[in-house]
Structure 1
Amino acid sequence: MKNGLIVVFVLMCGLVGITSNAYSAGGDTASFNIRGYLRAMPSVMINREFTHADFSNMVHNRLNTRWSLPLGLSLVAEGRNRLLFNELLEDFPTMADFMDYDDGLLDLTWVWLSQGGWLGTSQIDRLFLDWQQSNWRVRVGRQRINWGLNFVSNPNDLFNTYSFFDFDYPERPGADAVRIQYFTGGLSRIEVAYNPSRYARQSVAALLYGTNLFNYDFQVIAGYFRHRAALGIGWAGSIGGAGFKGEATWFYHIENLPQRRRANLVAAIGFDYMFANGTFVIAEFLYNGGFTPAGGNIFMLTEPMRPDNIMFSEFALTLSASHAFSPVVNGGLSIMALPDQETVFFSPNMKYSLARNFDLEIVSQIFIGGQNTLFYQAGSSWFVALQFSF
């Protein structure tokens, strides 16, 4: 089943490449569109004592296809292929099984190479049919249901959270779901979404109502999240020219078990501001009431966490700034403090447009402190990425 779906995806991309961008049949016009990128990213990870360095390299290819059809229909298929070499993989023989795991109803992830320090994977993270008519929109399949409002932490995002530390995945994960949206007029809408699971208790279903009041976008959420009730609220507006966003979700275990906290709150609030010189800054505070200390290895840092336990700490304060130094050079710095883990995370970055559709990006991730935590293993990592987009 898995291999067959991947073959279908590859064949679709190949078909698009050898056919024209549009055709006409019976007076109705349908069009194919393909885009993507090829990205090479060598990196080095240095341990905390600066006594050892591990080098790695990854080639990342992404393909995004859309087939626009008559009657408001679209078929979307998107995926990525990654080839990674890292000597550390030899110390984690179960890494291939970890990367081969797909949390969706359909298994659309495939490890096609696992030998020594080499690991090759393919994943289809978007595969859905979209229908839109008048005030209605329906999507069925693997998709991204983005209910989050904040820039960093999204406790309202019940269906597909992401990892803040995974900068190499801007598209973010998708979920196998049915999503129905009805736009009631003005800036109001009602959404219903259902994400079935191979195990009924791990399913997610929720209702969202969004509206605009007093120049603020508000949303309220009620649903079922993996055998927990979930109630959430979110808002986005401005105060004195600064953006003001927040979201909070309360989770409650349907089944009460001994020695387990039955309810917890996850909430995040943030401000953002654009200065006259073009510098954009963000400040965000997170309270993660469902925090449970995590074990595992450093590769866990880039894996999505659950919205009821959204960070590797109970508290997090994030400050971020970005600035366009010229039309072709952008730079930024993100700092995250995790006080209960006694950890500080720094991530400076720079992006330079070498030519049209050809970019150079330099990123560093530095963890300080965090003894006896997952962060202590991470040390510092330095990445250089060359990306060609098409």
Structure 2
Amino acid sequence: MFDTRAAIVAALAVWLGGSAQAQGSGPQWSGFYKNLLVRSDTWSGEPFTLDVNRLRVEVKGSIAPALSFDLQYDNELLLGSYLRTAQFQQGKDIAPPQYWRADANYLETSRLYGVHRLYRATLNASLGDTDLRLGRQRIAWGTGRFWSPQDALNPVSPIALEREERLGVDALLVEHKFGPLSRVAAVVAPSRIEHRSTAALQWHDNILGLDYSLIGGRLLGQQTWGLDLAGQVGQAGVRAELTRQWPDGLPATNRVLVGADYAFGNTLTLTGELYFNGAGARDPSAYDFSALKSGQTQALARRYLGLHAGYDIAPLLKWNNDLVVNLADRSRYVASSLSYSVRPDLDVAIGIQRFSGAAGTEYRRLPNTVHASMQWFF
């Protein structure tokens, strides 16, 4: 049911907006409305239709000369037969993993479900060469496209329907710049789940045209160190990530990613990645499908290939294709979509996701999906 969170969010936005106006620089408002229509099946095989209506409003501005804010508020209305599936009923009340509970449903019937949340909410301070950001945010460590061993705080599945949507983390991020390319960052992110808090450091620099980052500390409760490299070989962009983790009471595991990107003059862009997941199962019989379903992990096996091809059929019409292969069990994920810019503030898209493989393999159990969307920016 509707609770006081909406009033708190509205009051905070009004107060911050008033503070920004008092500083002589009015708040900046922007956002979008997105309608996403999905036709698919649940994990147990129930066919469904889901219509997602998402309104995201962002307000940002300055409170003081060195202090600013950024609020992004979501209001979603869900319709369709998915609301009557067992999968939805089991998952709708599961609390999100963030430390601060900033969401609530305000409408629930057999045909309508309304929920609102803070997607992002940060206070930002600049003190000379040091920047501080406190609140719900995206901490973008790592350079991977399909997978990223270093992006533990805001991971995304390579098979996610909306890969641009990244779950934020409630954290304090402090960055100090030593030069145009050199910086050190520290992040602290508490967790309500025991032994899942984060306290880590990242050093970023450039040497001989090669960007590199070093990380160390505890990421989601696991002692971690890692290396991230990105550079150019001819006209191709190349990158690599390596992390080594020591889960409490378990042997150390490695995660390794190598990737490359190339853009042709005819607008064709290609991306390829190879991923080794040392924490994955060696045999399909040991797959933990519940962890994949809940989002606790993005890969069940050890060896993967990811390929992407994008092409501008016309200046406003884009064609995107993804292929993900589990190299251990040979199961596959294929996605293809067309997007068209009707006008500068309005995009439409249609697409399909298809999963295949032998019985018991990772991608065989996932349901195929057909989707269409419309997004209006303001």
After TM superposition, the score normalised by the length of structure 2 is: 0.89
The within-5 A match list for 1:136-155 is 136-155=130-149
Query: Are residues 1:286 and 2:281 paired?
Result: no
Distance 1:30 1:197 in 2: 36
Q: Matched residue of 2:9: which SS?
A: helix
State the AA in 1 paired with 2:266.
Answer: N
Distance 1:71 1:96 in 2: 47
- Give the alignment partner of residue 187 of structure 2, picking from 193, 208, 218: 193
The within-5 A match list for 1:173-192 is 173-192=167-186
The within-5 A match list for 1:329-344 is 329-344=317-332
Query: Are residues 1:349 and 2:337 paired?
Result: yes
Q: Matched residue of 1:31: which SS?
A: coil
- Kept in 2, the 8 Å contact 1:179–1:192? The answer is yes
How far 1:126 moved relative to its partner?
1.0
Deviations 1:216-258 (A, max 9, x none): 100111011333210111011011210001111111024x2xx
Distance 2:133 2:237 in 1: 30
Distance 1:169 1:122 in 2: 20
Identify the residue that residue 383 of structure 1 maps to in structure 2. Answer: 371
State the AA in 2 paired with 1:372.
Answer: G
The within-5 A match list for 1:160-309 is 160-168=154-162, 170-199=164-193, 201-254=195-248, 256=249, 261-291=250-280, 293-296=287-290, 304-305=295-296, 309=297
Query: Are residues 1:71 and 2:65 paired?
Result: yes
Identify the residue that residue 367 of structure 1 maps to in structure 2. Answer: 355
Deviations 1:124-147 (A, max 9, x none): 121110012321100111111111
Deviations 1:163-196 (A, max 9, x none): 2233335241111111100011131100110001
Distance 2:126 2:216 in 1: 24
Identify the residue that residue 43 of structure 1 maps to in structure 2. Answer: 38
- Give the alignment partner of residue 313 of structure 2, picking from 306, 319, 325: 325
Identify the residue that residue 103 of structure 2 maps to in structure 1. Answer: 109
Distance 1:42 1:14 in 2: 33
Q: Matched residue of 1:262: which SS?
A: coil
Distance 1:243 1:150 in 2: 12
Distance 1:113 1:139 in 2: 33
The within-5 A match list for 1:81-160 is 81-92=75-86, 95=89, 97-98=91-92, 100-116=94-110, 118-160=112-154
Percent of aligned pairs with the same amino acid: 21
Q: Matched residue of 1:8: which SS?
A: helix
Distance 1:55 1:71 in 2: 49
Identify the residue that residue 8 of structure 1 maps to in structure 2. Answer: 8
**Residues 7 and 373 (structure 1 numbering): CA distance in 2 closer, same or farther, change over 3 Å?**
farther
Q: Matched residue of 1:231: which SS?
A: strand
- Kept in 1, the 8 Å contact 2:142–2:150? The answer is yes
Distance 1:79 1:96 in 2: 25
Q: Matched residue of 1:378: which SS?
A: coil
- Kept in 2, the 8 Å contact 1:99–1:121? The answer is no
After TM superposition, the score normalised by the length of structure 1 is: 0.86
Distance 2:87 2:212 in 1: 47
Q: Matched residue of 2:100: which SS?
A: coil
State the AA in 1 paired with 2:299.
Answer: M
**Residues 169 and 238 (structure 1 numbering): CA distance in 2 closer, same or farther, change over 3 Å?**
closer
State the AA in 2 paired with 1:223.
Answer: G
* Runs of 5+ unmatched residues, structure 2: 282-286
Distance 1:195 1:268 in 2: 25
Distance 1:291 1:114 in 2: 38
Deviations 1:241-285 (A, max 9, x none): 10001111111024x2xxxx4211111110000111111110001
- Kept in 1, the 8 Å contact 2:19–2:62? The answer is no
How far 1:115 moved relative to its partner?
3.5
Distance 2:109 2:355 in 1: 29
State the AA in 2 paired with 1:151.
Answer: R
Distance 1:342 1:76 in 2: 44
Distance 1:163 1:338 in 2: 14
Deviations 1:60-98 (A, max 9, x none): 221222122332211111132222234344332664645
Count of residues in Structure 1 that have an aligned counterpart in Structure 2: 371
State the AA in 1 paired with 2:337.
Answer: N
**Residues 158 and 380 (structure 1 numbering): CA distance in 2 closer, same or farther, change over 3 Å?**
closer
Alpha-carbon RMSD: 2.8
How far 1:389 moved relative to its partner?
0.9
Deviations 1:269-323 (A, max 9, x none): 10000111111110001111112522349xx55x644xxx542332210110111
